[in-house]
Amino acid sequence: MKIVLCTAPTDKADEIADQLLNNRLASCVNVIEKIKSKYWWEGKIQTDNESLLIIKTDDNSNEKIKLFIKSIHPYDVPEIVFINVDDVNKPYLDWVLSNINN
């Protein structure tokens, strides 16, 4: 199982989450609204209000998810960070895996 972190503009986060689910690339997407992000962009520090997507997926979908998010995300360089999950409740893992098309 993998967790994917992806920030998005607040007005696009639900759309991205829905499309990930509708395309069976994720079993669950938590949308955490109203986070403040501070980051370097084009030589200066930027501040934006965003939403954070916490995407639950399988070990085999990395490239599919990267390509998919890049194709629908409004940012030139979207955050797409994969975190390996080494220990997870087995029934939850089974549920995650049963809801993803490989």
Residues 38-60 pLDDT 10s: 999 999 999 999 999 999 999 99
The answer for residues whose C-beta is within 8 angstroms of residue 95's C-beta and 6 or more apart is: 27
Who has greater pLDDT, 101 or 25?
25
| pLDDT on residue 26 | 97
| pLDDT on residue 101 | 87
| pLDDT on residue 9 | 97
Residues 64-74 pLDDT 10s: 999 999 999 99
Residue ranges of domains in the chain, CATH in brackets? 2-98 (3.30.70.120)
CA distance 52 to 29: 10
Judge whether residue 102 has pLDDT over 90. no
